[in-house]
Amino acid sequence: MSDTLRIAGAQLAPVWLHRDGTIARVVQSITEAAADGIALLAFPEAFVPGYPFWIEHTDGARFDSHMQKVLHAHYLDQAVQIEAGHLDPVVDASARHGMAVVLGIIERPRDRGGHSIYASCVTITPAHGIVTVHRKLMPTYEERLSWAPGDGHGLRTTRVGAFTLGALNCWENWLPLARAALYAQGEDLHVAIWPGSVRNTEAITRFVAREGRSYVLSVCSVLRRDQLGEHIPFVDELRGRLPELLSEGGTAIAAPDGTWIVEPTPHVEQRFVADIAHHRVREERQNFDVAGHYGRPDVLQLHVNRERQAMARFDGGEVPRVALT
């Protein structure tokens, strides 16, 4: 097994609030990255079909607002149902090009009734397809008007080459125990997905790298007001209310000693690439291994509930059908 891995963060704009258009952009990016020998490609938080930027700027907390209801219904319509096969083109592209993918989606799962949505981070591998769906543990601020809180089911790591990959959504990267759950599983390549802001990535990317003695890839989107399409409800009103720059980017990559490989970079749409070497992880863990020789499970130990949460549990199997006479 090679000690090195070529990774990249796709700092792109989604086709905002359009699922199929954005998925096509994801597939195109995977195809283009394959020509550069990328083995792992990561996309921003909520990339498919996009982050709910309208809430902050349109009085999103107003109860029973017609505008908020219409926009929310459209958001649900454009959200991803994995069980409906919406991500099949991405899974196929991953397999075709031998590339692992980390993708932020707005998930509309049937297992919670089919009408609530989650900011989910999906990990896809060429051999096994979708291996992890991590629903964001706690939406931040106005996100709670749109997204439901997730659970611990997706707090899992995945082997990619010589590395053990883990990923978290946006501000849950600041949760010490969420990070600890991944460290405990041997994580040495951490992907942090964000909607897009240098102020979000400039401090925490290096901090997590230094704490975990791991490589950290933070990936962001960029989106301008003039990229809003006519398919969006209330698009003219949104163009009048939303700022010119909705998301500025800020994708960055840090080494296991906390130094920059790629400094946070705003405004441009591009793919940020790094060749990473696992021996650098082993070198830095000589003096600090948070889940290994520096851990004290006899004193401090984390319990993680990875059960997928559900509204009801049914015991006893199928109810027999009774013939009516």
22, 182 in Cβ contact below 8 A? no
Left if phi > 0, otherwise alpha if psi is -120 to 50, otherwise beta: which for 149?
beta
Predicted pLDDT of residue 104: 98
318 pLDDT higher than 80: no
Our answer to whether residue 32 is catalytic in this structure is: no
What type of residue is 214? S
Mean pLDDT, the chain, whole residue set:
96
pLDDT at position 325: 44
Neighbours of 87 (CB within 10 A): 26
Identify which of 81, 87, 116, 86 has the alpha carbon closest to the alpha carbon of residue 102.
87
Q: Which is catalytic among the residues 45, 107, 143, 187?
A: 45
The alpha carbon of residue 293 and the mean position of all alpha carbons in its chain are separated, in whole angstroms, by 30
Closest CA to 94 of 23, 44, 164: 23
pTM for this entry: 0.95
Above pLDDT 90, what percent of the chain? 93
What mean pLDDT is predicted for residues 312-324? 69
User: Which of 24-28, 31-35, 141-145, 317-321 shows the lowest mean pLDDT across its residues?
Assistant: 317-321
Confidence of residue 322 (pLDDT cuts 50, 70, 90): low
Catalytic residue at 45? Answer: yes
Distance CA 102, CA 77 (A): 23
pLDDT for residue 96: 98
Catalytic residue among 107, 143, 170, 211: 170
Residue among 136, 172, 211, 284 flagged as catalytic: 136
Per-residue pLDDT averaged across 72-78, rounded? 98
Residue 147 pLDDT > 80, yes or no?
yes
Region 309-319: mean pLDDT is 80
Radius of gyration, alpha carbons of the chain: 20
Q: Which residue has the tokens 């909705």?
A: 246
Secondary structure letter of residue 304 according to DSSP: -
158-201, pLDDT tens digit by residue? 999 999 999 999 999 999 999 999 999 999 999 999 999 999 99
Q: Are 256 and 230 in contact (CB under 8 A)?
A: no
313 CB contacts (<8 Å, ≥6 apart)? none
Instruction: State the average pLDDT over residues 272-276.
Output: 98
